[in-house]
Amino acid sequence: MTVESNIGNTKFLDRNPPSLPIEEIKQIALDLYGLSGEFKPLESERDQNYHIQTRSGDNYVFKLSNEAEDPGVIGFQIQALMHIKQQDPTLRVPRVLKTKKGTLAGMVKKPDSKQHIVHVLSYLPGIILDDAEQTPALWRNKGRYIARLDNTFRGFFHPNARHELIWDITLCASLKPHTIHIPDTTARQNIAGIFDHMAKEVIPILRTLRHQVIHNDADLMNTLTDPNQQDRIVGILDFGDMIYAPLILELVVAADLVDVHADDYIRLLTNLVAGFDSVLPLEEEEIDLIYDLLLARYGILGTIIAWRRAMRPDQPAYLQEEEEPCWNTISSLMSIGRSNMTDALRRSCCFPPYCPVNKETEISDDTESLIKRRHEVLGSELTLFYTNPVHVERGRGPWLYDADGRAYLDCYNNVPVLGHCHPHVVKAVSRQLAALNLNTRYIYRNILDYAERIVSGMPDNLSVCVFVNSGSEANDIALRMARFTTGERGAIVMEDAYHGITEAIDDLSTYEKEKEDLAPYVSTLIPPNPYRGIYRYGEQNLPDRYATDTDRAIEELSKNGYKPAAFMIDTAFISNGIPDVPEGYLAAVTERIQAAGGLIIADEVQAGFGRSGSHMWGFMDHGIVPDFVTMGKPVGNGYPLGIVVTSPAILNAFVKETELFSTFGGNPVACAAGMAVLDVIENENLISNACVTGEYLRRGIRSLMSRHTIIGDVRGKGMIAGVELVRDRKTLEPASTETDRLLDLLREDGVFVGSEGPPYFNILKIRPPMIFKPEHADILIDALDRSLEAL
Ligand SMILES: Cc1ncc(COP(=O)(O)O)c(C=O)c1O
């Protein structure tokens, strides 16, 4: 609901508090409520208010509204107080006293036909926040208290809730013409700029945020603390500015600090916001607007003070003493800056750092200083991608955003198989984390639901799961089980295989290792690479010619005194440069391994979950049935989770002997993440999308080959593509330095791609999320075209 603003109209400047003689007020109180006693005036912007203490010691607030006050709006306030009493009886707000006739308010008619509504509220004891020491604990409690109040308002509405109010931040832009009355040039320009920014950038977003009835005036004067325990909030007063508005405005108005040192401002504000968030969780978008809304709030204050002075010199200089502090606060906020303040607010509510999306005006942290800190606390040898490393703060779908808000198309990272931060996974993880998280020594249901889903569709022998936390762990356990089952130690893997980081698996990770450095129980196979390998496209019987190398490897192990316990294979052959593996090759290899007594471990860390675009698991593309399937990376779309699937006979014998247990493996949160990944793959038909979009992508890249002779080969399956770069298509001289440079150029162009294929690393490794669409592929193809041109 939006309101056309009339607040440019000077009638909104009239405070008009009535000024009936005290004797008349006393008579009204007696006639309507039967109240008498001591009357002390209370300050009010628009009403004539008194604190009444009766002879019996009861305390009340008597309110006589100004003649222009809409009775509907007073009715709204009274109903709100009644609603709070019903919803949260221990929340201390004034209670409405009924008249002698039993009504909630009375009416006074003057002979000049002016009418004033009268209502009486209970008087809340306590000291106003303005008189208390401003401590973080007090502000945190204040945040909690007003969140409680807003929780009671969630189910409340009233026809007069959306009334017009000069203090309504959503209408601030209509005040801009009146900034001319601000005497100080800098303050005037600042405030006019704030209103422009609000109209253009902030209000459109604010309209999309959740709205409800809010108090809208929980400032230092209207919040009470306990005189004996000043951190404790004991009441909220003055419901006269209540309104239906974006919820976040409640906090902005409550952050009523002027002329406070910047550090204290941030400290108190973050406590207020975090306190609120702990009772009524805030949304990221709400927090990101607080900085601008605070500026707008001070802008309104500065404008109203100046405008009133200019237009109503006859009225007392209400709020005048706040004018200069208000300007100073605006300057101080501006010197803190949106990024710093929003970062601090986000941190206080456990949101990730601030990273505005596509806002070129924001300046990021100095990347150099982050690299220095990284070296200090993470060691100096940790790999960083790119000559000009990227400081990434946020991801969404196929996009990553750097700290300046620049978007990069992520065609490299294969963990977020559904795209970064997929909302279904985020929800599943956070909701499960809020419900239960423990280990597999208790019964809980989602691990069973999930395990059943993982094994459904697998060959019959693969029907039980072991849950761990990474691909390395999954491979480690599978290898242990293979060794336990066969009683042998030997292992066969591809040359330049990568399977993980545990000590046992590092032995099998032959990536960039010299043959003579391998353990005697490890033997490697020549990769089946028909583009650059020893047998090439066009030659006869490629699968068998490559597969016969298995006999040599088994023989080699035997010479060292070992028999194969396992053959571990990445079914996508990623670290071998994503070759187009000749059909039937893997079946021919596994036959030989099995004949020698070895078990087959299909490492699906790269290929699994439908990335190849035809089957859920890579081993199915190769027509083999392994003894173990291991999974990692994409299983939880970023939530750590590894799985081994095997047969009950193998697993039960092994666990009986070893009492295998992983503390975090298969915890309910991990299972919720895994389950959510399967939901999305199924519901959004991602396997078929991987097939269609992957083919589209490769076709597009191939279309560049006529203009860019450096592209030697384009290959891959589904959402995995390899693009081999060569200096000469005949000699296949690898274009290694060019590949490195190309990755940097693509990064500068806003696209992330990796390289692969030791020892030359001249192959572009492209593994976008499976939600990738042709329009994303077009962005990659165009960027590749431009970057190749610029090489
Ligand atoms: C094929 C393959 N297996 C296993 C792993 C190890 O997985 P993690 O890093 O989760 O331990 C990787 C990691 O890159 C991999 O590519």
pLDDT value of position 366: 80
What's the rounded mean pLDDT across residues 291-298? Answer: 97
The burial of 441, by beta-carbon neighbours within 10 Å (0-12 exposed, 13-18 middle, 19 or more buried), is given as exposed
pLDDT value of position 317: 61
Q: Is 475 in the pocket of ligand 1 (CB under 6 A)?
A: yes
> Which amino acid residue places its CA nearest to atom 3 of ligand 1?
499
Mapped onto helix, strand or coil, the DSSP state of residue 509 is coil
In the structure, what pLDDT confidence band is assigned to residue 257 with cuts at 50, 70 and 90?
confident
> Which amino acid residue places its CA nearest to atom 8 of ligand 1?
471
pLDDT value of position 46: 81
pTM, rounded to two decimals? 0.81
In the structure, what pLDDT confidence band is assigned to residue 311 with cuts at 50, 70 and 90?
confident
Torsion sign over Cα 11, 15, 18, 21: negative
pLDDT value of position 1: 39
pLDDT digits (tens, 9 = 90+) for 65-89: 988 888 899 999 999 999 999 999 9
Percent of the chain whose predicted confidence (pLDDT) is above 90: 88
pLDDT digits (tens, 9 = 90+) for 569-594: 999 999 999 999 999 999 999 999 99
The burial of 665, by beta-carbon neighbours within 10 Å (0-12 exposed, 13-18 middle, 19 or more buried), is given as buried
What's the rounded mean pLDDT across residues 195-217? Answer: 97
pLDDT above 80 for 113: no
What's the rounded mean pLDDT across residues 669-698? Answer: 97
pLDDT above 80 for 8: no
What's the rounded mean pLDDT across residues 668-672? Answer: 98
The residue type of 605 is V
In the structure, what pLDDT confidence band is assigned to residue 114 with cuts at 50, 70 and 90?
confident
What is the distance in A from the centroid of ligand 1 to the CA of 715? 22
Phi, psi of 53 (to 5 degrees): -115, 120
Q: Is 605 in the pocket of ligand 1 (CB under 6 A)?
A: yes
pLDDT value of position 11: 56
Q: What is the mean pLDDT of the chain?
A: 94
What's the rounded mean pLDDT across residues 508-524? Answer: 96
Pairing of strands 564-570, 599-603: parallel
pLDDT above 50 for 350: yes
Which of 66-80, 266-280, 355-369 has the weakest average pLDDT? 355-369
In the structure, what pLDDT confidence band is assigned to residue 194 with cuts at 50, 70 and 90?
very high
pLDDT above 80 for 732: yes
pLDDT above 50 for 361: no
In the structure, what pLDDT confidence band is assigned to residue 563 with cuts at 50, 70 and 90?
very high
pLDDT digits (tens, 9 = 90+) for 218-237: 999 999 999 999 899 999 99
Nearest to 449 by CA among 187, 679, 626, 637: 679
The burial of 377, by beta-carbon neighbours within 10 Å (0-12 exposed, 13-18 middle, 19 or more buried), is given as exposed
Q: Is 636 in the pocket of ligand 1 (CB under 6 A)?
A: no
The residue type of 782 is D
Instruction: Specify whether the CB–CB gap between 488 and 563 falls below 8 A.
Output: yes
What's the rounded mean pLDDT across residues 697-725? Answer: 98
Ligand 1 atom with the smallest distance to the CA of 633 is: 10
What span, in angstroms and rounded, lies between the C-alpha atoms of 338 and 328?
17
pLDDT above 70 for 677: yes
pLDDT above 70 for 408: yes
Strands, E assignment, 15-72 = 38-42, 48-53, 59-64
Q: Is 496 in the pocket of ligand 1 (CB under 6 A)?
A: no
Show Cβ contacts of residue 380 under 8 Å, excluding neighbours closer than 6 positions: none
pLDDT value of position 316: 59
Q: Is 618 in the pocket of ligand 1 (CB under 6 A)?
A: no
Q: Is 603 in the pocket of ligand 1 (CB under 6 A)?
A: yes
In the structure, what pLDDT confidence band is assigned to residue 427 with cuts at 50, 70 and 90?
very high
pLDDT value of position 312: 78
pLDDT value of position 318: 66
In the structure, what pLDDT confidence band is assigned to residue 10 with cuts at 50, 70 and 90?
low
What is the distance in A from the centroid of ligand 1 to the CA of 33? 78
pLDDT value of position 259: 78
pLDDT digits (tens, 9 = 90+) for 448-463: 999 999 999 999 999 9
Q: Is 476 in the pocket of ligand 1 (CB under 6 A)?
A: no
CB-based burial, 561-584: b 16+ in 10 Å, e otherwise: ebbbbbbbbbbbbbbbbbbbbbeb
